[in-house]
Amino acid sequence: MLIATLLPLLTRYSLGCDLVAGPDETITLTIIPRTPEGSTHKLKSGETRPISITASAQEIDAELARGSDGALGQLIASRSTLAEQIAEQRQAAEDARKAAAEAAKAKPAPATSRTAPISNAAKAQTLISPPADAKSEEPASLW
């Protein structure tokens, strides 16, 4: 039953298993995905995260017997779905990057407009001269 339940994982990973007896007759089953021998596929960090189930032996057997409807099966399905979504997002990002690069190559460089520089004397005159409606006996207001 354990091997049949793990078969979907075995198609993509080499698996390490660890069984540890705990207090009150509980057992922790830890499944560790690894890169299969001879595989060119490099596992991402999310794919190599161990899967742990802690329960009584009967509960683990019952959960594994549920197959794809059990906790382990649902976790495997969720990881597969997430991996597919990540692959799709990476492909979409790569396509968008390529499209942006192509658009940048096709777009001509914008013409720079040259304006006559303002002389220092004109700048100084603009800064020093008071407003036209200013009265000499009143301080200038910004408002």
In this predicted structure, what is the pLDDT of residue 27?
Answer: 92
Tens-digit pLDDT string for the chain (143 aa):
677 777 777 777 788 889 999 888 899 988 888 887 777 777 766 667 788 889 898 888 888 777 667 777 677 667 667 777 887 888 899 999 998 888 888 876 666 655 656 566 555 555 566 666 666 676 666 55
What's the whole-model pTM score? 0.48
Residue 143 confidence (pLDDT): 59
d(CA 103, CA 140): 53
For residues 103-133, one letter each, b for 16 or more C-beta atoms within 10 angstroms of the residue's C-beta and e for the rest, the string is eeeeeeeeeeeeeeeeeeeeeeeeeeeeeee
Q: Residue 64 burial by CB count (10 A; 0-12/13-18/19+): exposed, middle or buried?
A: buried
